[in-house]
Structure 1
Amino acid sequence: MIEEPPRYILITGAAGTGTTTLARALAAEWQLAHLEADDYLWLPSDPPYQHLADKDLRDEHLLVQMRCAARAVVAGSIMGWGQALEDIFDLVVFLALPVELRLERLERREIERFGRAKPEFLEWAAQYEDDSAPGRSLARHQEWLSRRSCPVLRLEGDISVAPHTGCHPRPEPASGLSAVITLGPAPISSSTAIRNTGGTCSTLASLNPSTSATSLWP
């Protein structure tokens, strides 16, 4: 077990990658406040997501809640929200999934929440890998990640946060799992990487054999 988790963690990625699920699991495991970027991006409404909040205030509101909580994990995208917020994190985790799986998850989630999935929402989510589309995209996300001053951990593939999220490094990686993690100029063993990231690599999730983990440090 690690003695002390990072103070502020950001879980980010395209819609449907599981940022909320992972943030919720980490919050429970480490007793952190769990905050959603969407709660500050949008004004409260019924149904939700109808009116955007003032972009000059959203970062301030989120920062206030983070500082009040002392330790927090934030789920969602905060690109362009302001340097004070974007540079406050001690660790950023970027989740990546194939678009087909993301859209399947999103459609199921929207039906569970609202009874149907709006085609325009799914169309917006599907264009994430298209660098020519306006708004959030994979290329813009990667460029934003490259400018972070804190460690960045990239998890690719389907991730299960159950049955455990405890920090217990496996002696041997599961078959097919990429266990080489890049820290600086040279790859090192997964056990060393886990120590250098405060155990976060194994704590973040129970990685299945289709998941690869890469830690990218500035």
Structure 2
Amino acid sequence: MVNKIIIFGNSGSGKSTLANRLKQQQNLAHLDLDTLAWEATNPPVRRPQEASVKDIQAFIMQHPKWIIEGCYTDLLNLIAPLAELAVFMNLPVAMCQANARKRPWEPHKYVSQEAQDENLPMLLNWIAEYDQRTDEFSLQAHKKLFESFHGDKIRHRENPASG
């Protein structure tokens, strides 16, 4: 059994879904990096990396068995040396967009289902740009993280629940 897992990939790739399933199966503490990467402002602004890192370190110190997921390679690169398994959710953009369209309300990210729905066009565009971006949220950054990871690793090209 693996006790320390990172999951990363494009928005809508199924990171949270897989993390929640593994959390239940393996009794792991779960940290969604979205919950600590952003200031609660409108529009959202990234928190200083030092603040996010402090929260991640506190989570890791409190939980010896964990799963951490998100699209933030700047944060995941700091966690990767501690992880035993890396899971790269490398689904096609169209699948990620389809997942985003049917995503249930995420109360930890949006005040209402309506607010989440209002954000959907921006999210679909964000997902579509995954292959072209060069930032810490990009396919390029995720591939580099996956290739440099020294532990066990898995790349999913379709949703593991459906395949």
Superposed pair shares fold, TM > 0.5: yes
Which residue does the alignment assign to 1:124? 126
Aligned 8 A contact 2:6 2:80 in 1: no
Of all paired residues, the percent bearing the same amino acid is 21
Which residue does the alignment assign to 2:12? 16
Deviation at 1:81, TM superposition (A): 2.5
Aligned 8 A contact 2:6 2:76 in 1: no
Deviation at 1:95, TM superposition (A): 1.1
Output aligned runs, 1:91-102, within 5 Å: 91-102=85-96
Aligned 8 A contact 2:89 2:157 in 1: yes
Which residue does the alignment assign to 1:33? 29
From the superposition, tell whether residues 80 and 115 of structure 1 become closer, same or farther in structure 2 (CA, over 3 Å). Answer: closer
Aligned 8 A contact 2:8 2:89 in 1: yes
One-letter identity of the residue aligned with 2:80: E
TM-score under structure 1 length normalisation: 0.63
Q: Which has the higher contact order (CA 8 A, sep 6+)?
A: 2
Which has more helix, going by share of residues?
2
One-letter identity of the residue aligned with 1:119: P
1:116 counterpart SS class: helix
Gaps of 5+ in 1: 161-206, 209-218
One-letter identity of the residue aligned with 1:25: R
Could you say which structure has the larger radius of gyration? 1
One-letter identity of the residue aligned with 1:140: A
From the superposition, tell whether residues 36 and 50 of structure 1 become closer, same or farther in structure 2 (CA, over 3 Å). Answer: same
TM-score under structure 2 length normalisation: 0.82
Match of residue 58, structure 2, among 55, 64, 68: 64
**Length, aligned pairs only:** 154
Q: What are the Cα deviations for residues 26-78 of structure 1, in whole angstroms up to 9, with x where unaligned?
A: 11111110110111111346x7x723211122122112112201111111123
1:65 counterpart SS class: helix
Q: Aligned partners of 2:100, 2:71: CA distance in 1, in Å?
A: 16
1:115 counterpart SS class: helix
| CA-based RMSD | 2.3
Aligned 8 A contact 1:106 1:122 in 2: yes
Which residue does the alignment assign to 2:73? 79
Q: Aligned partners of 2:56, 2:48: CA distance in 1, in Å?
A: 12
From the superposition, tell whether residues 111 and 28 of structure 1 become closer, same or farther in structure 2 (CA, over 3 Å). Answer: closer
One-letter identity of the residue aligned with 2:101: E
Gaps of 5+ in 2: 107-112
Q: Aligned partners of 1:120, 1:138: CA distance in 2, in Å?
A: 18
From the superposition, tell whether residues 115 and 140 of structure 1 become closer, same or farther in structure 2 (CA, over 3 Å). Answer: closer
1:97 counterpart SS class: coil
1:157 counterpart SS class: coil
Which residue does the alignment assign to 2:147? 146
